[in-house]
Chain A
Amino acid sequence: MSLPEPLTVMITHAIASHGGPRGAILEALRMVQHAEGWVSDERVADIAALTGMTTAEIDNLATFYSHIFRKPVGRHLVMFCDGASCWMNGGDKVAEAVKARLGIGFGETTADGRFTLLNTCCVGGCDHAPAAVTGRNRRLVGPLRADTLDGLLT
């Protein structure tokens, strides 16, 4: 499927407002991911065509930045803090409970395509440790409890 017209317009606009094609690459990757959930090889080629860069230059960035996804992710993304403040307050136990409940590990997606689990640090929610961010808005949830996982998988 070719790049949808609204994305073409937005990326073209980003090239004008972000100091040219190179400055707009990350923005373009983000826009594609926002619309489609991840960045496929086809979209890398689309962005390359729009910005006048090579696909290698686009992928060079896409593979460096950890929140650009080069394979499909679940509809619900759960980013779990594995930092010290969360760990001290039982973060490991909560992480194990989430993994057991979903039957997947960090970096994996459930077979039904609902959830993807990622470990990250720090989510800036140390006052809610152990904490995670979830969903399109990266909503902060915590303090999490291993026995309920309230608010995390909804």
Chain B
Amino acid sequence: MTAAPLSGPLTGRARADRRPHSLAEWQADGGHAALGLARQQPPAAIVDMVAAAALNGRGGAGFPAAQKWRFMPAPGTIPGDGPSYLIVNGDEMEPGAFKDRLFLEALPHLVIEGAMIAAHAMHASEIIILVRDAYRIGIHAMEQAIAEVDAAGLTGRNLKIRVHASAGRYIVGEETALIEALEGKRAVPRKRPPFPAQSGLWGRPTTVNNVETIANIPGIVANGPDWFRGLSRTAEGGTKLFGVSGRVHKPQLIEAPMGTTARELIDRCGGVSGTGELLAFQPGGGASGFLGPEHLDLPLDFANVADAGSMFGTGTLIVLDTGTCPIGVIARHMRFYARESCGWCTPCREGLPWVAHIVDGLEAGTAKTADLDILHMTAGEAGPRGRSFCDLMGGAMAPLATGLHRFERQFADHAAHGCRA
């Protein structure tokens, strides 16, 4: 399937038909050169370079990548024998997120090169690239690319790489649940501490990085941290693979500087479709709070979006026009998070289906005004401080809490009349 062509230092080499490169093609284009450069340097120098580049993790939380790597213990300080793991998280399943699919399908050698450099930097001896079941084309591309680098001797004697094809469930994307899945258990998040770097997969030091985070590493090593920071318009380094979907004329992936505004991104998608007028947007996938037309010129990065009361998340925008019922959008999100709760913590297991039921009732016209109080209570008390092991419910409450505030009139109208859109 073809898509709009991409340009930019991160994704510009992706082909329009997304056919991946062979190893020979990739090397002819300068690929895997950064790996050679990285291996000539001590691991700490690579970590310092990534720190200076101000690369924030692209999986959703935006945690500085180098800082995460520094949690990994140095060799010789780890009790017992066994591997240290780098897990590349390709379990992309956030509603509205479709960016990691591109790297896995079209740029597998970029992901592998980044992962091998990162493994060197954090002393990891085994790389596991976990990919969701629905991305089987990406799974095949990654397996093929791994076979090629193995056969060419690029992996080296002390590094193992494999793909783990996941078997469904959104919660697998949560890093400690992902570790449980790899250990052959139900994907139920672990209580932290200990953090994965202290005790991760099979009790060994483990770092979990998002696919896009890893894909940025070769460019940083090849061109230096100053170059990477220079790509951005804000203090957070690099370009970002944005995605825009929902009510725009040409939904697509767009690589653009960190700090690009929603107005620019929506314009590049041919503008708002439907009524042509923006109602609201979610800047970072389903679990990010709604922003409005007043945020169109906000330079999008993790810090600015957090300051505006939302979350940059995956950087994949969901756009609503004024003809779209926001309660309907929230209803789809609530059904999704209710369905995908792993069921371990009571507020999430019991609360989310109840919330989904109420929002469905608002849409159908069977809810009562008093139900809005329950939504407010749940959004307020079971949010980020809900004492759940992970933030699935906290994330799910973000569109609800911000929606209750932003769409107060629509909620009241739905409680009285149901959906009249």
B 191-211 binary contact with A (CB < 8 Å = 1; else 0): 000000000011000000000
> Is the CB–CB distance between A87 and B329 below 8 Å?
yes
**Bound: A67/B93 CA distance, A:** 13
B 305-332 binary contact with A (CB < 8 Å = 1; else 0): 0000000000010101000100011001
Confirm or deny: B74 has a beta carbon within 8 angstroms of a beta carbon on chain A: no
Within 8 A of A (CB), among B104-161: 132-137, 140
Q: Which residues of A contact B137 (CB under 8 A)?
A: 137-139
**Taking the nearest CB of chain B, how far is it from the CB of A10, in angstroms?**
13
**Taking the nearest CB of chain B, how far is it from the CB of A153, in angstroms?**
17
> Is the CB–CB distance between B336 and A83 below 8 Å?
yes
Q: Which residues of B contact A120 (CB under 8 A)?
A: 134
Between-chain CB contacts (< 8 Å), 8 pairs: A65-B169, A68-B168, A84-B246, A87-B329, A129-B245, A129-B246, A136-B136, A138-B133
**Bound: A60/B184 CA distance, A:** 10
Q: Among B64-72, B247-255, B371-379, B383-391, which stretch is in contact with chain A?
A: B247-255
**Taking the nearest CB of chain B, how far is it from the CB of A58, in angstroms?**
10
> Is the CB–CB distance between B184 and A82 below 8 Å?
no
**Taking the nearest CB of chain A, how far is it from the CB of B196, in angstroms?**
15
Q: Which residues of A contact B185 (CB under 8 A)?
A: 22, 61
Confirm or deny: A105 has a beta carbon within 8 angstroms of a beta carbon on chain B: no
**Taking the nearest CB of chain B, how far is it from the CB of A49, in angstroms?**
16
Tell me how many residues of B have a C-beta within 8 Å of chain A: 53
Classify the interface of chain B: helix, strand, loop or mixed: mixed
> Is the CB–CB distance between A127 and B187 below 8 Å?
no
Q: Among B30-38, B45-53, B95-103, B346-354, which stretch is in contact with chain A?
A: B95-103
**Taking the nearest CB of chain A, how far is it from the CB of B407, in angstroms?**
14
> Is the CB–CB distance between A85 and B335 below 8 Å?
no
Q: Which residues of B contact A88 (CB under 8 A)?
A: 246-247, 320, 324, 329
Q: Could you say which of A17, A22, A26 contacts B162, with CB atoms under 8 Å apart? A: A17
Given A22-B184, A122-B96, does the pair A30, B167 have CB atoms closer than 8 Å?
A: yes
> Is the CB–CB distance between B96 and A85 below 8 Å?
yes
> Is the CB–CB distance between B243 and A126 below 8 Å?
yes
Q: Could you say which of A60, A65, A126 contacts B251, with CB atoms under 8 Å apart? A: A126
Q: Could you say which of B132, B183, B247, B251 contacts A23, with CB atoms under 8 Å apart? A: B183
Q: A127-B251, A138-B137 are in contact. List 7 more A-B contacts (CB 8 A).
A: A22-B183, A66-B167, A82-B332, A84-B332, A84-B333, A127-B4, A139-B137
Among residues of B, the one whose C-beta sits closest to the C-beta of A19 is B202
Q: Which residues of B contact A7 (CB under 8 A)?
A: none
Confirm or deny: B370 has a beta carbon within 8 angstroms of a beta carbon on chain A: no
